[in-house]
């Protein structure tokens, strides 16, 4: 057994598959400003919600004090519109002096004092998407050094205002420059999202060597339509995307919008379940100062987080597409366990779906128990041929954690 583990580790190490900074062996978790707070820079009209050090300190406080940190939500991430419109006299990026009077270094110190990590945003191009100074090729090393000197722990590098050839040069160069700083800084690459997210324009093997995570597809908005579009794009292209993910290298379907305005309770449960199946980064973009108990309970579901954070790091797959508009997803987990999601894209009424593990093409010499992740319901004694029925609400999910009850007697051969 130990030999097997050792040889597996050697195999993984010799493949050199992921960016060699030792970070994000499980999908990163935290909070990211963009979807909820965008480029709101009017701190006079909207002091509580504008992009300012106060917003990030508030979120750090909430993560540290409201039980998020203990569950793994550790990153506090700045997105676009944090910088001053001009670099300083030495060419360095500086934070907007009105909105970040203490500077990013002090903000990092504050975030670290809470036991959390700070992420920042840059853009490989002439400008950021919001029109702030971008990182052209000649600024890559200086900007990496600046972020490291501030004590930043993660960089999301966007790709507005540059062409494909600049991106093909710049993303690997930034990866190298971050490594050269000597500070371990996780690297989130928006590159594939700008190239359509698919081969031959995107080489996922290469991305895994230079980035810890990457955005493949469009930005998420605060709507169910947006969540559905993302999920269906991921399932359509899972043969390409699923093998790309693994410890230290993750597909990023974008932020969790649970706790905002666009999703119903059922839809919120669906987003969380599918993001767990996809081994997706869990970056919430919501207002943690004013979040409902219902939304918190979804985002703080321990079993769901454990599934998302499974150490094998194998992304799940869509097993069965759309029969009666019910999709069945499965993620293989460590210790011979698995997660199943029954996802309804129906719009009529709760749907009773009867199946068995063998009907889902799951074969294993075990008797299983299945636990509903969102309720107390447990079904014991599931043989692979045992029929069971789940009731799935419209635009909702039933998610099951399936684990072996006991090993059947080993038969020879
Ligand atoms: C830089 O890369 C080397 C080799 O790829 C690795 O051993 C080292 O840990 C990396 N350092 C940082 C700070 O990421
Ligand atoms: C891409 O942009 C760079 C920098 O602006 C420019 O020098 C280069 O000619 C562009 N390449 C193409 C193929 O447009
Ligand atoms: C993709 O990148 C890998 C790793 O850098 C490389 O070995 C491979 O040749 C690339 N594939 C293509 C089609 O360019």
Enumerate the domain spans of the chain. 2-308, 317-412
CATH class of 317-412: mainly beta
Which of 158, 252, 310, 327 is catalytic? The answer is: 158
Query: Whose atoms come closest to the Cα of 175: which ligand?
Result: 1
CB-defined site of ligand 3, < 6 Å: 203, 205-206, 209
Q: Do the strands 29-32 and 75-77 form a parallel or antiparallel pair, or are they unpaired?
A: parallel
Query: Whose atoms come closest to the Cα of 183: which ligand?
Result: 1
- pLDDT at residue 1 is higher than 60: no
Q: What is the pLDDT of residues 357-378, one digit of tens each?
A: 999 998 888 899 999 999 989 9
Same fold, 2-308 and 317-412: no
What is the CA 259 to chain-centroid distance, rounded? 16
361 pocket-lining for ligand 2 (C-beta < 6 Å): no
Query: Dihedral of CA 108/128/207/69: which sign?
Result: positive
| Residue pair 242/317 in contact by the 8 Å Cβ criterion | yes
C-alpha span between 219 and 230 (Å, rounded): 9
**Beta strands per DSSP E along 103-225:** 117-123, 154-158, 186-189, 213-215
Active site residue 219: yes
Terminal-residue alpha carbon distance, the chain: 19
DSSP category for residue 49: T
What per-residue confidence (pLDDT) applies to 364? 82
20 pocket-lining for ligand 1 (C-beta < 6 Å): yes
- Residue 83 burial by Cβ neighbours in a 10 Å radius (0-12, 13-18, 19+): buried
Other CB atoms within 10 A of residue 35 CB: 22
d(CA 318, ligand 3 centre) in Å: 27
> Residue 320: which H helix or E strand, with range?
strand 317-323
In this structure, CATH architecture of domain 2-308: Alpha-Beta Barrel (3.20)
- pTM exceeds cut of 0.85: yes
Active site residue 252: no
Share of the chain above pLDDT 70, in %: 94
163 pocket-lining for ligand 2 (C-beta < 6 Å): yes
d(CA 411, ligand 3 centre) in Å: 43
Q: What is the pLDDT of residues 205-227, one digit of tens each?
A: 999 999 999 999 999 999 999 99
d(CA 254, ligand 3 centre) in Å: 25
Residue 309: HSE in the Cβ half-sphere, 13 Å Cα cutoff:
14
- Tell me the mean pLDDT in the region 33-44: 98
């Amino acid at each position: 057994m130990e030999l097997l583990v050792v040889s597996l580790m050697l195999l993984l190490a010799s493949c050199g598959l992921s960016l060699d900074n030792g970070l994000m062996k499980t999908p990163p978790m935290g909070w990211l400003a963009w979807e909820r707070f965008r480029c709101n820079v009017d701190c006079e009209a909207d002091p509580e919600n504008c992009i300012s050090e106060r917003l990030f300190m508030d979120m750090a406080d909430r993560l540290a004090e409201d039980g998020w940190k203990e569950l793994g939500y550790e990153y506090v991430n700045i997105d676009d519109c944090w910088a001053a419109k001009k670099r300083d006299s030495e060419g360095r990026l500086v934070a907007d002096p009105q909105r970040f009077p203490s500077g990013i270094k002090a903000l990092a110190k504050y975030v670290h004092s809470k036991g959390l990590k700070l992420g920042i945003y840059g853009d490989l191009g002439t400008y950021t998407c919001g029109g702030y100074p971008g990182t052209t090729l000649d600024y890559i090393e200086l900007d990496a050094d600046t972020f490291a000197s501030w004590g930043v722990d993660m960089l999301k590098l966007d790709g507005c205002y540059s062409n494909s050839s600049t991106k093909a040069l710049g993303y690997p160069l930034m990866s190298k420059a971050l490594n050269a700083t000597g500070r371990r800084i996780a690297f989130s690459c928006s590159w594939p999202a700008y190239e359509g997210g698919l081969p031959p324009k995107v080489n996922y093997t290469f991305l895994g060597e230079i980035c810890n995570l990457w955005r493949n597809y469009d930005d998420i908005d605060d709507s169910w339509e947006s969540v559905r579009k993302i999920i269906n794009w991921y399932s359509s292209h899972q043969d390409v995307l699923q093998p790309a993910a693994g410890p230290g290298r993750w597909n990023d379907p974008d932020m969790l919008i649970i706790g905002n305005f666009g999703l119903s309770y059922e839809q919120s449960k669906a987003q969380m379940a599918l993001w767990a199946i996809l081994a997706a980064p869990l970056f919430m973009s919501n207002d943690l100062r004013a979040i409902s108990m219902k939304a918190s309970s979804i985002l703080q579901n321990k079993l769901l987080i454990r599934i998302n954070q499974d150490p094998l790091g194998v992304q799940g797959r869509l097993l069965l597409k759309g029969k009666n508009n019910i999709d069945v997803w499965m993620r293989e987990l460590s210790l011979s366990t698995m997660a199943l999601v029954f996802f309804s894209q129906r719009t009529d009424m709760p749907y009773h779906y009867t199946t068995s593990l063998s009907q889902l093409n799951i074969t294993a010499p075990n008797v299983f128990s299945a636990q509903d992740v969102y309720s107390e319901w447990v079904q014991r004694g599931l043989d692979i041929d045992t029929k069971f029925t789940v009731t799935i609400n419209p635009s909702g999910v039933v998610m099951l954690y399936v684990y072996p009850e006991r090993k059947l007697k080993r038969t020879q051969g």
